[in-house]
Structure 1
Amino acid sequence: MFYKILTATLLLISQIPLLLAESAKPNILFITVDDMNWDSVGAYGCPIPEITQHIDSLATEGMLFERAYVQASNCSPSRVVFQSGRYPSSSGMRGFYMVDANYPMLPEVLKNKGYFTAVINKPRDTSFHGNYEQFWDYSTILKGAEKRGAITYEKGMNEFFAIVDQKQQPFYCVVNIADPHKPFFNDPKSTESGFDEYGPSRIYAASEITVPEFLPKHPGVRIEMRNYYNSVKRADDCVGAILKSLKESTYEDNTVVIFISDHGMPLPFAKSSLYEHGIRTPWVIKWPNKIKPKSVDTEHMISAVDFMPTILDICEISKPKGLEGRSFASILAGKTQKHRDHIFAEFNENAIGNVFPTRAVHNKKFAYVFNPWSDGSRSFTSASSFHKSYKVIKELAKTDSELAKRYNHLVYRELEELYDLEKDPNCLNNLAQNPEYLNQLKQMRMKLTQHMTKINDYALEAMKNRQSPEKLAYFMEKQDAESIKRALSIQWKRFKNRIGGTGKNKELFVSPANL
């Protein structure tokens, strides 16, 4: 009898690690790259050989979402959507200033449920304000050349896992890779600044790369694209270093790995736009023993606002009120969801605070963009306005009538834009004034208006008054005044804004409700 009890006890003890493993909360490793187009990834059809081997390997082990999007096409507004589950116009994170959100972010919710939260690189842009210790148990800022090096990310992850070993908690870790953000590898500024100290594992020649259809086939553009793709390769090297560190740890089997880009490439008609090349993102998820390897989802449209509710479902944690996205966790298990046939996106202002409120709705067939700032005289500016490809387009437009039209569109836009994505995936031909597409225009406009009404978007006023130039002008006057007030009073995430240097701003943050 004694031996039977002893045998049963030993058997039970031997099963404890397995039982604990089965009941353990999954770890979450969220890897982002900066300014990478969705179609720059091999698994998404990029023809450049071996461009993203590590990202591709992640896709073969998990699920690739063919139709994935972000809500905003510039850095901090986009990144905060993932952590807040709210659209930028709702969260207050319209631009690059600091905000008191007055509701919990994803790392806060996870932290309160026993997760060890960490952000490696860009903690400020991943958070609402500079007091990011409120959200993250562990944070690091990478600077200069080191944030471009794969070895930096491997070392950082090894140090992180050593800390987690001591904590014995499930973790939520966000790793923000700097590439392929400007300056690109071999750009003059990159070379001068010493950023090229860490090169990609393979360097491509200009003859090996392709120039996208929305940019002119000019030697200067091709050089910039070569440098971009070499930076994409370096970003993939960093992904590989992170995955190597995870594999060598004890956490791989219970870690959900998510890979995305915060928006499109930092070139005209991509970053800071709401076209496909501005907001469509590569999105890959690996979950060992949960997601079938080599899965590809082509049916559902998902977006950044869905990230927080999905992660909370994966971690089996109840969701706070006010989230504006919805979980797609069931899709990971092979199920289908209804009403995933469109997404919404917005752009509010550039990094120095100049306002260009823009709204969009995309489905698989059409994209509708609303530009209430477009009046024929206000000119759009973004980071890409200072880069080589933009300057090439501007110069060529002086003698090329077709490029002149493209340049004028880039700078001034039109109040409404409609694109047939099946026939025109690069959004080159605006159909908003084409009577043959009037029904599609009305349907897409109505869909966007319903969404703006639902989230109480401040730009709804402009949508309702879109036929009145005077009322649109008044709307923009108000937005400019509010922007100047923010520039004068709120601490910013950048060193300067539209007013000048931001060092004199005394307030840490101001609630959007007070503006």
Structure 2
Amino acid sequence: MKITSLIIFLICSCLSFFEADAQNERPLNILLFTADDLDKFSLGCYGSEVVNISPNIDKLASEGLRFNHAYVNNSICAPSRGIITTGLYGHNSGIKGFMKMPENKEHPLLMEVLREHGYQVGVMSKVDHSTPKTTFTWDFMRKRSELGDGRNPERYYENAKIFFEESKKEGKPFYFMVNSDDPHRPFFNPEKGLQKGMAKPSRTYTPDEVVVPGFLPDIPGVRRELSYYYNSVKRLDDTFGKVMQALDESGQKENTLVIFISDNGVALPFAKCDNFYASNRTPWIIRWPEMVKKGTVNDTHLISLIDFFPTILEAIGIDTRVSLDGISHLPLYKNENHKKDAFVYTQIDNKADGKEAPRRSTASPMRGVQNRDFVYIFNAWSYTDAVYHNNNEGLTMQAMLKASKTNKKISARVNLFRKRPHEEFYNLRKDPNCLKNIIDDVRYAEELQIMKEELKKWMVEKRDPLYSVYRNRDNSDIVKEKLYELYPDLERVDKLK
């Protein structure tokens, strides 16, 4: 009997060993959670002083790795998400605004590559912006309208559970792109009723409880709109918490790499749809059990969204010859040595402009380059008679316009927002809010030249058509000629009587 029992024990032990080993070798799942128009400094883990604003996202940071110098390369939702799915800058993918890839463009999407390698691919909300090819169909898809306008945590939870179960039934690893529509406009205003199945955030904030970013004036109208914004940030955190709950309950937490980012900066003046520091900074938090040490902070390296595609491929172990504009930063996830990126490159081509009006244009070509110390911005559109507008101005701009009648500083900010100099240069160490343009300060001539040369190098290497404008920036006649060729809408503005 003793021998029989020993044999049974050894068999069970071996089975347990092989079962555990098989679990360790399970393919890696990828869960990408994107916020919509979130400033990273709105989160507790990035230093927000707004009470209890993001406990669920903060928990993710405590369980994984947080990057302090992460950026998107385009501060508009559709082209930013196009970079995620194509691994190309907008001028190379054709996604230069609210548009799809050209039909004759032969370039695989990240989801197509993953599906070819056995992955179940799913998306929730922002489906159009996340699907730059009209011919591509996700294995699992939930539109914004099925998720309470992308603002209902319970509906995200219910549908995430369905996706996780379906992937298990299929016996496939998954790539799941979960897009919250918070804190995109319209922000949650408690004085207005809920629409389209939206949910209330778990708590709301008053104007006195919020923090006004330094690139905006601290006036009552701005505070009021910011309180609505923070209500939406809170609901974002509620949604993220419910998706994490669904993942935990699926039993797939341990072999899932979770990545949390925002597609661009906050939808306020001098942030989204621009090239300032507030425009392109993003939270970047990952959790990778057994691979990433809990509570790690990377305060050294610059990373940007252009590297997302190749990083995911390397994390999974896919070797492909797809031509991409970025490189993998996977070694940083593993706390290994990695070539330090010295610069991040940003671009705007076309934006949503709101209602059509004289001197407005959806084309607003800009380019930028930044490192940890400086940001240099080239405003190509400013050579024309166009006046800058975007659809993110809201109550904040209304308050600024009213205050500008009696406040010279606010008046100057409004004027700068509408009409830019051709070039801007800011010292991010001393002036992260980009309030003082030092383009003509001779004390920074050397640093400025370095940034200009770096932008030129990037534009040439990445075959940016706007380089034909940039290299002639000292000749306004040639600049306009080249701009009209690339952006006919700007010629329309210039020809207005």
- TM-score clears 0.5: yes
Aligned residue runs from structure 1 range 132-151, under 5 A: 132-133=136-137, 136-143=138-145, 145-151=148-154
Of 118-127 and 369-378, deviating more is 369-378
* 1:359 has 2:367 as partner: yes
* 1:382 has 2:385 as partner: no
CA distance in 2, matches of 1:300, 1:165: 36
Render the CA deviation track for 1:371-428: whole Å, top value 9, x for unaligned. 111137311121114x111122223223322222211111111111100000000001
* 1:167 has 2:170 as partner: yes
2:18 maps to which of 11, 16, 34: 16
Letter in structure 2 aligned against 1:172: Y
Letter in structure 1 aligned against 2:386: R
Tell me if the contact between 1:26 and 1:255 (Cα under 8 Å) persists in the aligned partners: yes
Distance 1:350 1:426, change over 3 A: same
Shift of the alpha carbon at 1:38?
1.1
1:147 aligns to what SS in structure 2?
coil
Of 11-20 and 100-109, deviating more is 11-20
CA distance in 2, matches of 1:441, 1:475: 25
Tell me if the contact between 1:186 and 1:196 (Cα under 8 Å) persists in the aligned partners: no
Letter in structure 2 aligned against 1:223: R
1:369 maps to which of 377, 390, 394: 377
Q: Which residue is 1:327 aligned to?
A: 328
Q: Which residue is 2:114 aligned to?
A: 110
2:407 maps to which of 375, 381, 400: 400
Shift of the alpha carbon at 1:151?
0.7
Q: Which residue is 2:69 aligned to?
A: 67
CA distance in 2, matches of 1:154, 1:230: 20
1:131 maps to which of 129, 132, 135: 135
* 1:336 has 2:344 as partner: no
CA distance in 1, matches of 2:91, 2:149: 34
Tell me if the contact between 1:374 and 1:413 (Cα under 8 Å) persists in the aligned partners: yes
* 1:220 has 2:221 as partner: yes
Tell me if the contact between 1:354 and 1:480 (Cα under 8 Å) persists in the aligned partners: no
Distance 1:410 1:471, change over 3 A: same
Tell me if the contact between 1:375 and 1:412 (Cα under 8 Å) persists in the aligned partners: no
Q: TM-score, normalised by structure 2?
A: 0.92
Letter in structure 2 aligned against 1:140: R
Tell me if the contact between 1:214 and 1:269 (Cα under 8 Å) persists in the aligned partners: yes
* 1:414 has 2:417 as partner: no
Tell me if the contact between 1:357 and 1:373 (Cα under 8 Å) persists in the aligned partners: yes
Shift of the alpha carbon at 1:280?
0.3
Q: Which residue is 1:276 aligned to?
A: 277
Shift of the alpha carbon at 1:14?
3.2
Shift of the alpha carbon at 1:193?
6.2
1:273 aligns to what SS in structure 2?
coil
Letter in structure 2 aligned against 1:97: M
Distance 1:193 1:8, change over 3 A: closer
1:462 aligns to what SS in structure 2?
helix
Of 50-59 and 376-385, deviating more is 376-385
CA RMSD of aligned residues (A): 2.1
Tell me if the contact between 2:89 and 2:306 (Cα under 8 Å) persists in the aligned partners: yes
Render the CA deviation track for 1:291-329: whole Å, top value 9, x for unaligned. 000000000000001111111111011133311111111
Q: TM-score, normalised by structure 1?
A: 0.89
Tell me if the contact between 2:483 and 2:490 (Cα under 8 Å) persists in the aligned partners: no
1:90 maps to which of 89, 92, 114: 92
2:381 aligns to what SS in structure 1?
coil
Shift of the alpha carbon at 1:339?
3.3
Tell me if the contact between 1:309 and 1:319 (Cα under 8 Å) persists in the aligned partners: no
CA distance in 1, matches of 2:190, 2:415: 27
Letter in structure 2 aligned against 1:360: G
1:447 maps to which of 448, 454, 461: 454
Stretches of structure 2 lacking an aligned partner (at least 5 in a row): 354-360, 493-497
Q: Which residue is 2:356 aligned to?
A: none
2:180 maps to which of 174, 177, 185: 177
Aligned residue runs from structure 1 range 239-258, under 5 A: 239-258=240-259
Render the CA deviation track for 1:205-262: whole Å, top value 9, x for unaligned. 1111111111111111110000001110110000001011111111011100000010
Distance 1:406 1:483, change over 3 A: closer
CA distance in 2, matches of 1:255, 1:14: 22
CA distance in 2, matches of 1:93, 1:294: 36
Render the CA deviation track for 1:36-57: whole Å, top value 9, x for unaligned. 0011111011111111110000
Letter in structure 1 aligned against 2:152: G
Letter in structure 2 aligned against 1:127: T
1:373 aligns to what SS in structure 2?
helix
CA distance in 2, matches of 1:89, 1:376: 21
Tell me if the contact between 1:358 and 1:370 (Cα under 8 Å) persists in the aligned partners: yes
Of 202-211 and 370-379, deviating more is 370-379
CA distance in 1, matches of 2:418, 2:184: 22
Distance 1:401 1:342, change over 3 A: same
CA distance in 2, matches of 1:306, 1:8: 48
Q: Which residue is 2:124 aligned to?
A: 120
Taking every aligned residue pair, what percent have the same amino acid on both sides?
34
Number of residue equivalences: 479
Letter in structure 1 aligned against 2:474: Q
